[in-house]
Amino acid sequence: MSLQRRISWNAALRDIRDDRATIPAGLLAAKASVNLTVRLSRRPLVVAGKFDRSAIMQAAAKAARLHHERFGCTWAEAMSVALKAAWGAAKLARHMVAH
């Protein structure tokens, strides 16, 4: 006796959609803030092919302050978004230097 299993395609596709990573609110603004901070401070995030962690943290802290004021979230959430943006910018900068 064979048992057939029915699949609900609606439920399966909904689960797939729910598994996608969501972009945190304000991530694009944080990226722009990090890029502006780097330009204005003239302190690159990558020096000699290595990450300048002090510059990354400085840019992230400034972006987090702005994010915290604008969105009214907790400081931890603001730092999380800002650090994602800062490290993303640093990785892109290191990639651009290498190529």
Residue pLDDT tens, the chain, 99 long? 567 778 888 888 888 888 887 778 899 999 999 999 999 999 999 999 899 999 999 999 999 999 999 999 999 999 999 999 999 999 999 998 887
**pLDDT given for residue 2 in this prediction:** 64
SS3 for the chain is: CCCCCCCCHHHHHHHHHHHCCCCCCCHHHHHHHHHHHHHHHCCCCEECCEECHHHHHHHHHHHHHHHHHHHCCCHHHHHHHHHHHHHHHHHHHHHHHHC
Reported pTM? 0.75
